[in-house]
Amino acid sequence: MDWNQLRFFLAVYRHRTLAGASRELASNSPTVSRQLAALEHDLKAKLFLRTPRGYVPTEVADGLLELATRMEACALEIERHAGGTDASLSGIVRIGTSDVLGTGFVLPAVASVRRAYPAIRIEVDIASAFSNLSQRESDIVVRNVRPVESATIVRRLPGLTTALYASKGYLAEHPPLADMSDVLAHELVTLVGGGKIRWFPPLYPARAKMRAPGLQVNSILALVSALQAGAGIGELPTYIGDAAAGLVRVLPDLTAAYDVWLGTHGDLHRTARVRILVDAISRQFAS
């Protein structure tokens, strides 16, 4: 038995499907199945029941989970310790962030690092802002919620400002807006994340009086396109909304501010390639 087989076991246990385990391990279903079968052969025990609804752990698997998790933690700690002493400006850095923060700030910083240090290879996973630092799903995260994983170095970045926007055509065809109460009578286009509507913070207290959003989307790109098409009024980061063709601010003095946090694991924070990216991202937000 080797540690590699236990990695596959843990991934299947967490996701209960070969497809989910494959995504976590950047592998494929046949490989996951083979590694799991090899582990069961070595242990001479059945670890999962294969059912139409997925892989159901047996009592043996439940008993193995804690030991395998401890082995995983030790292996990751070894990797972080070795990586933490790496002074070379080369290798891979994984960044988890959102589409808003990634496109506006992280990717420009990444581009500058790539120009200066071509031996540093960077993987940016948009929509993975909440990936786990302690399990090395990302080396750096940039997100609107403070990272709380253990042994994490956290840096607060300059915040993100948002405002309400609509197309000139939409505003020409609908009643004028003098204050926030006027927004209640208009069509809203909102972002949805995790099944929840992301209300513009100044409108949040009045949400019970507001009509249900006529259009909900799950990406900033779709939101911009919908607003440009005249679908209604929606919240955008000001750096996006001010530059978007055909859009104007609704109630220009009404804005919202969001915190932005950058997190790295304490061991990896010392590596040269991670420090270079942390500094570049921080400068991008500061500018």
Length, in residues, of the chain: 287
Minimum mean pLDDT among 109-118, 145-154, 271-280: which range?
A: 145-154
Domain 3-84 sits in CATH at: 1.10.10.10
pLDDT digits over 53-63, tens only? 899 999 998 98
Residues of the chain with CATH 1.10.10.10: 3-84
Give the pLDDT confidence score for residue 135 in this predicted structure. 63
Residues of the chain with CATH 3.40.190.290: 160-255
Range 160-255 has CATH code 1.10.357.10? no
Q: Note whether 110 and 116 are within 8 A (CB).
A: no
Region 204-213 average pLDDT: 77
Which band of pLDDT confidence, cut at 50, 70 and 90, is reported for residue 83?
Answer: low
Residues of the chain with CATH 3.40.190.10: 91-157+260-286
Does pLDDT of 80 surpass 70? Answer: no
Bridge partners of 157? 260
Tell me how far apart the alpha carbons of residues 240 and 162 are, in angstroms, rounded to a whole number: 9
Tell me how far apart the alpha carbons of residues 167 and 161 are, in angstroms, rounded to a whole number: 19
State both tokens at 178.
Answer: 């003098």
Of the candidate CATH numbers 1.10.1760.20, 3.40.50.720, 3.40.30.10, 3.40.190.10, the domain formed by 91-157+260-286 belongs to 3.40.190.10
Tell me how far apart the alpha carbons of residues 76 and 103 are, in angstroms, rounded to a whole number: 30
What pTM was computed for the model?
A: 0.63
